[in-house]
Amino acid sequence: MTPSPNQLELPARRLHKIERRVAPRSWGVWAVAASLLLISALVMLQLPLLQRLNSDVATAVGERRQIQLADGSRLTLDSASAVDVDLRGPVRTLRLVQGQVFIEVTHDGRPFVVNIDQAQVQVLGTRFSVSRGRDHDEVVLLKGKVEVSSGGDKRMLAPGERVTLNGSRLGQVEKVDAERRLAWREGQLRVRDVPLRQVLEQLAEYQGGRLLYIDGQLGQRPVSASFNLDQASSAINALARNQNLSVSSLAGQWIIVLSP
């Protein structure tokens, strides 16, 4: 029997009704997912600020600060950094909450210990830097001696050496140009054959942003240069011009780098 025209139209009508019911719901799900993603991103950006506000000593984005502790020791905090300090007991302690700090320890008969996540730095009268990064933490020694310990493992550093920490794991001691690595104290970022991605990530942090995306293999390009950290945005644009790249930002926070 041949179907009537009305019978032929029935499946199409049903399909149209189904589409009208499903499509708005699908868009609703995507809208909720996008909103949750945006909220998560905003929380990620604001969490470091909350950590700094709850610390004993902290710096804002783009700020460097020098202070002298009650025992005479001196701290230089990098941009967006925070520490907790306790000098009251038989052991002087400093906890690096966020960022980077250069420490010049004064002898007063008590040990000076720096806590970084799961690691400890035992100071033996010295000048050194400790930093917390996304991928790893780091200790760089300029003068004196420090002993870094974590999970039962230990490393002794001499001047011009560094060690990295990843959770409870200690890396091997490496030779570094300590003065170059600590140039941030003078507001400079000095790099030699450092991957472009790493340089952009550091510059982005000095203007309160993050590198969201970098096109293809661009991030592996080696960079050797000196940048003014007090003008991080201009440094990013100058680097982009030098590398023939296109740089844009999303919501004033996320930096996107593309090839032209």
Burial grade of 66 (CB within 10 A; 0-12, 13-18, 19 or more): exposed
Pairing of strands 112-116, 92-98: parallel
> What percentage of the chain reaches a pLDDT higher than 70?
77
What is the value of pTM for the model shown?
A: 0.77
In the three-class reduction of DSSP (H, G, I as helix; E, B as strand; rest coil), residue 159 is classed as coil
Q: Apex CA 212: angle with CA 211 and CA 214, to 5°?
A: 80
**Residue 16 structure tokens:** 């149209």
Residue-level pLDDT at 42? 47
Would you call 207 helix, strand, or coil by DSSP? coil
CA-based nearest residue to 144, from 161, 163, 164, 130: 161
What confidence category does residue 69 fall into, taking pLDDT thresholds of 50, 70 and 90? very high
Concatenated DSSP letters for 73-125? -EEEE-TT-EEEEE-SSSSEEEEEEESEEEEEPPPSSS-EEEEETTEEEEESS
3-class state of residue 57 by DSSP = strand
Tell me if domain 57-178 and domain 187-258 are identical in fold: no
Say which CATH architecture domain 187-258 belongs to.
Answer: 3-Layer(bab) Sandwich (3.55)
Q: Is the pLDDT of residue 93 over 60?
A: yes
The CATH number assigned to the domain with range 57-178 reads 2.60.120.1440
Rounded distance, CA 120 to CA 109, Å?
Answer: 19
For the record, the structure tokens of 244 come out as: 């023939």
Question: How do residues 127-153 score in pLDDT, each as one tens digit?
Answer: 999 999 888 899 999 999 999 999 889
Q: What is the mean pLDDT of residues 154-167?
A: 94
Q: What is the mean pLDDT of residues 45-53?
A: 55
The pLDDT score that the predictor gives to residue 50 is: 57
Ranges of each domain in the chain: 1-54, 57-178, 187-258
Q: Evaluate whether 96 touches 127 at the Cβ level (below 8 Å).
A: no
